[in-house]
């Protein structure tokens, strides 16, 4: 009988976190411990590292997600373990889990089987408090904004033009739209909450390169407009210094380990269907200065997280990735081929071949960035030999290799073939990375470029108000910013029911938001929302503390 993931994690032998740090040259004096198996790496130590990166950067992404699961985090961990097994000094860089998905539909985000980071229950719930700090910083700005208006509004803020929203790290649809200031507590106005992982503070946190850069980015946040139609910034409200103080400790990357004791930096956690979907630049750059290989992931399918990793994070962080691994499963491709979830256990090679159009498009998209690509076929026990071969045939037709990976069951040993091939791709020197579009392209044309080249849309339909905002941003000098597309993760289109590889559709853009501090423009497509709701049967119903005081039900 297969053991539950949490049982496997609790039976694993974890090393004291000081020993994990020592593996990658971090002395115990450079760690702030949160118990025996978690620590923050001090900024003072990071400042002593060589300015130039020595490591090779591997991006793990995936096909468009389905209820069948793809296992992108599990594969990232398995690949990192495998690279360490074959003698490559490797650090894994991941995002921190959000409480919203943990208690909602997705569950925990620490991998699975023998490819996990640990302690999984602590990482999934609260961890080292980073998300609480980010939420507090966000809401401090909200409080200072409303307080300024209450005490006379000397900045002349137009309360009907306030764009700054409050944040909370939980799915709560009732907070999407609300009214604040009732009961003579201030000027009544409309407001709302975003989930913390979709907030601009989270994006700034993950793209800043130092505390100084963090504060400068916070100062650039635009909270709304004044009665003269000019932007009002966080700097005007004198909020950034206090916000930086709230974020100071959180800004230090978190060090943990896999079940095979591979060093892992987990830091930051923006959603990929709304925000840019990558772990912090601080953690990635630290890893690249400490290790020979860094394996990181970008959220959801390659049309979302990977596109943003390559067009936003790499652009802002001056990163040059060396290879991409696209994760696929037989089960997911069968769903993209039209098979119902209840029938996924039955062999259906024809459905795999049909659904593989989704994989093919993601591979082609990654190749457009000038990067070598391989495919990790995350193994399930119901996979047949012919179904796996069908995926490998699709890969071969595109000039890439597909590897059956058994890291869930066997840990790093189950992904060694993939690891060796990744090393071959990196050492071949074939990577010629370049972003999809230049800075000089207009915001409208950047949106059209992503829609055309990544999604395969025939055109983009901008609502007039969204188009007007884009024109204003362009005129105000923000035209060089990249765009951060916010749309459903389940389809290349904005319609979650269009699975597989749809093309020739119209992409509807209903709104745009300027994230001046983060350094991008968020583009809201279709019905995407920035505060998710819980499902009919939330995962919270199954999470509990047992008689021994252990948390159960996170998977």
Could you give the residue numbers annotated as active site? Answer: 72, 74, 95, 106, 272, 300, 380, 408
CA dist 61 and 73 (Å) reads 9
549 Ramachandran zone, left/alpha/beta (phi>0; psi -120 to 50): left
Quick one: CA torsion of 275, 454, 403, 11, rounded to 10 degrees? 10
What are the φ/ψ torsions at residue 138 (nearest 5 degrees)?
Answer: -60, -50
Rounded to the nearest angstrom, the gap between the alpha carbon of residue 342 and the centroid of all alpha carbons in its chain is: 29
- Exposure b/e, 404-421, CB count within 10 A at least 16 = b: bbbbbebbbebbbebbeb
Q: Measuring CA to CA, which residue among 147, 143, 132, 189 is closest to residue 166?
A: 143
Which residue's entry shows tokens 């974890």? 14
Q: Measuring CA to CA, which residue among 203, 183, 207 is closest to residue 194?
A: 203
- State how far the alpha carbon of 42 is from the alpha carbons of 17, 28, 89, 231, in Å: 14, 10, 21, 36
What are the φ/ψ torsions at residue 388 (nearest 5 degrees)?
Answer: -65, -40
Residues contacting 217, CB < 8 A, separation 6+ = 204, 207, 208, 517, 518, 519
| The two three-digit tokens of residue 79, written as one number | 């690949």
CA dist 38 and 28 (Å) reads 12
221 and 513 Cβ atoms separated by less than 8 Å: no
Number of CB atoms found within 10 A of residue 230's CB? 13
What are the φ/ψ torsions at residue 81 (nearest 5 degrees)?
Answer: -60, -40
């Amino acid at each position: 009988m297969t053991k539950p993931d949490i049982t496997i994690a609790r039976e694993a032998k974890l090393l004291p976190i000081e020993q994990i740090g020592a593996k990658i040259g971090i002395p115990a004096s450079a760690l702030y411990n949160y118990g025996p198996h978690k620590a923050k790496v001090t900024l003072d130590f990071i400042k002593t590292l060589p300015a130039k990166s020595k490591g090779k950067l591997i991006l793990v992404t995936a096909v468009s997600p389905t209820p069948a699961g793809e296992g992108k985090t599990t594969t990232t961990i398995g690949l990192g373990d495998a690279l360490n097994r074959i003698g490559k000094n490797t650090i894994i860089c991941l995002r921190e889990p959000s409480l919203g998905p943990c208690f909602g539909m997705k569950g925990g985000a620490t991998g699975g089987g023998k490819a996990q980071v640990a302690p999984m229950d602590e990482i999934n719930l609260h961890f080292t408090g980073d998300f609480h700090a980010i939420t507090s910083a966000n809401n401090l700005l909200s409080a200072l904004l409303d307080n300024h208006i209450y005490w006379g509004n000397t900045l002349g803020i137009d309360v009907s033009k306030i764009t700054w929203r409050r944040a909370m790290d939980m799915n709560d649809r009732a907070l999407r739209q609300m009214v604040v200031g009732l009961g003579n507590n201030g000027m009544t106005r409309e407001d709302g909450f975003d989930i913390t992982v979709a907030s601009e503070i989270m994006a700034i946190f993950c793209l800043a390169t130092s505390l100084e850069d963090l504060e400068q980015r916070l100062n650039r946040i635009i909270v709304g407009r004044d009665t003269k139609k000019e932007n009002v910034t966080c700097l005007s409200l004198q909020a950034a210094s206090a916000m930086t103080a709230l974020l100071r400790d959180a800004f230090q990357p978190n060090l943990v380990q896999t079940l095979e004791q591979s060093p892992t930096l987990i830091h930051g956690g923006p959603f990929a269907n709304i925000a840019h979907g990558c772990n912090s630049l601080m953690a990635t750059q630290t890893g690249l200065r400490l290790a020979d290989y860094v394996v990181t992931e970008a959220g959801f399918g390659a049309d979302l997280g990977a596109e943003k990793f390559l067009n936003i994070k790499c652009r802002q962080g001056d990163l040059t990735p060396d290879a991409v691994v696209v994760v696929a499963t037989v089960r997911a491709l069968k769903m993209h081929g039209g098979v119902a979830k209840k029938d996924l256990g039955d062999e259906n090679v024809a459905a795999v071949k049909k659904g593989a159009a989704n994989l093919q498009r993601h591979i082609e998209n990654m190749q457009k960035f000038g990067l070598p690509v391989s495919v990790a076929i995350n193994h399930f026990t119901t996979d047949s030999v012919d179904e796996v071969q069908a995926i490998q045939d699709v890969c071969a037709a595109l000039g890439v290799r597909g590897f059956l990976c058994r890291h869930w069951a066997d840990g790093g040993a189950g992904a060694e073939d993939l690891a060796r091939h990744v090393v071959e791709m990196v050492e071949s020197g074939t990577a010629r990375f370049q972003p999809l579009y230049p800075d000089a392209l207009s915001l409208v044309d950047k949106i059209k470029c992503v829609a055309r080249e990544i999604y395969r849309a025939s055109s983009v339909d901008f609502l007039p108000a969204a188009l007007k905002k884009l024109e204003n941003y362009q005129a105000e000098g923000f035209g060089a910013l990249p765009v951060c597309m916010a749309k459903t993760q389940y389809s290349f289109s904005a319609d979650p029911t269009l699975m597989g590889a749809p093309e020739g559709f119209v992409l509807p853009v209903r709104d745009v938001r300027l994230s001046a501090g983060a350094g991008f423009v968020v583009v809201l497509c279709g019905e995407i929302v920035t505060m998710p709701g819980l499902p009919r049967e939330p995962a919270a119903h199954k999470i509990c503390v047992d008689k021994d005081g252990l948390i159960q039900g996170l998977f």
